[in-house]
Structure 1
Amino acid sequence: MNKKMVNVQQAKVIDKRQALRKMWEIRIFEEMIQELFDAGELYGTMHLCIGQEATAVGGAGILKKSDWIVSTHRNHGHCIAKGTDIRSMFAEMLGKKTGTNEGKGGSMHIADLNVGNLGSNGIVGAGFPIAAGAALSAQMQGTDQVVLCYAGDGATNEGSFHEALNLASIWQLPVVYFIENNQYGMSSSIEQMVNIDKLSDRAKSYGIEGITIDGNDLVAVSKTVSQAVEKARNGGGPTLIEALTYRHKGHSKSDKLMYRSEEECRQWQENNDPIIRLESELIKNGVQQEADIRQMEFTIRKEFADLVASVKSDSEPEIEDLLTHVYAEGEA
């Protein structure tokens, strides 16, 4: 089958200082919602992406505002990187009417159409066909929009993954499938779940490009995503990216982490933390000073603490709100 050849523009150069701030915003947001959960102020569960900040900022953070993302249950970093309002995210987590979903969606369903955030999903693998549908919409309407679809390693064993990639390939849709391989699908090692060395090898079955990268290297992520996005934007079709990373916390708040060793966790956290790696690079190259970075971290913590304090006084949804947003509004 002949594929359309396109000239891909040079990868977008990411501002590392701004990226570091955004990565710290993601981490501090998650540390604070963990504290709120432990204090009994959050309902339901949540899935933390601490340790995976580079995949969020290097991916969603380099898109145009008009581009779209589709996220997962581990969604907070993607949403913040795409530009979703952080106060509204805190409000959603705390069940307030001022939240992104008016307090009715919670952690796993944050969405913000104003910045191209098509929403998160608690169903593993559900984002693959949603992303294909959004990409088909962009293609049919003749816009230059591209969809970046996040998913975990475990989701690549779902039927929706194979069905969506097949359609995306056949129709050469402007979509980039981005797999955050954090080594575990819930409590199962990905090595025990597949019989291939790289998840990106599955792209070959559908005649599209597959790439495996270091997901904790901000520059590698942003460069790879930027090139794949521009290829898709110019009619070159989809790309499957596998980013190797690691979640520092459990699958969810109920995870006791009995399936991986303390030594493994320590190695990843001490030797391959994406924030530490970027900080070390910036300090070594004289771009930022250690003291300035720590002041930035302190400032973000203070700003977020003030946001949480203000959100707590916001109103909660009324009983009548249960009946809103159930069906799309408009004429039949």
Structure 2
Amino acid sequence: MRAVYFEKFRTEPIIAKLPDPSAPADGVVIDVEATGLCRSDWHAWSGHDDTVQLPHVPGHELVGTIADLGSDVENWHVGQRVTTPFVGGCGSCEWCSSGNAQVCPDQTQPGFTHFGSWADKVVVRHADLNLVELPEDLPAEAAFSLGCRFATSFRGLKHRAKVRDGELVAVFGCGGVGLSAVMIARALGARVVAVDINDDALDLAQQHGAEATVNSRELAPDRVATAVIDAVGEAPAVTVEALGLQDTMNAALRSLAPLGRHVQIGLLAEPPVTAVPRIIALELSFLGTHGMAAADYPELVDLVRSGALRPQDLVTRSISLDEVPASLLEMDSGTRPGMTLIRP
């Protein structure tokens, strides 16, 4: 198979020809139809995730077709079109048994714990627990991001923060996962204010449901929260940090109303200094969201099939596998607005 491959962190990957993978007894091999270029892949390439072992093939959100399956797989067959959460559970621990595979201590993650989807083929382990069937008529542009960005935002807003109709949600960082949070919050009936330093990203946020936007490029960190509140005339009930920076996380916490809920999606390369006194004084909730178990996908897939959610509208670029190494290096300077789809 052809794959994006690197042997050292932060060195330019190459397109390599590697042996085709074989299906483990409990897993499958998927022919990759489309995959995504995500900030998490940049973290893996940068050496920020200690689960990544070298050499490595990145890529963790995908749609494809089952090409081979292991002898112990019971619920799937060759030819089915599927996606998978980027966090795969082991299927036997108490967390998987309770429906919380996304926090499984023995989790596997394509593109992190083993070779990922920036390739012609990818392995998904514990397939009976971790696969999600997709309709044949669902465009790849609508399907690939369900494995990471849309699932993570959906769980964070719907199941963790329990966003209610009419509440104000502030989204800090309008890359792919932030824009998915804007779109999902609107689908849940919330009002949205979006924060970013890129006008093009803010334009996309407004196109997909944000009633107000704040460009924080020229604002001191301690002024961002005030600007958010001023933009809509009230403090948000829920904040989402979708970038992974200390300043934006603290700005989000400073903007919250009393009893507010903060959802942290962005991965932080270094331990942050948080606004802990404010968390205590206003009884704020600080919530993590780490993907979503496959069992919880039907509600999300139904929203996409119905047209209430349209992930495909956030795809602003489609590239080939050969273009991925340069695009990954480009992320050192920031992320392009919208989502990038890769077709191997």
Q: Report 1 or 2 for greater relative contact order, CA contacts < 8 Å, sequence distance ≥ 6.
A: 1
Bigger fraction of residues in helix: 1
Greater percentage in strand = 2
Q: TM-score, structure 2 length as denominator?
A: 0.32
Normalised by the length of structure 1, the TM-score is 0.33
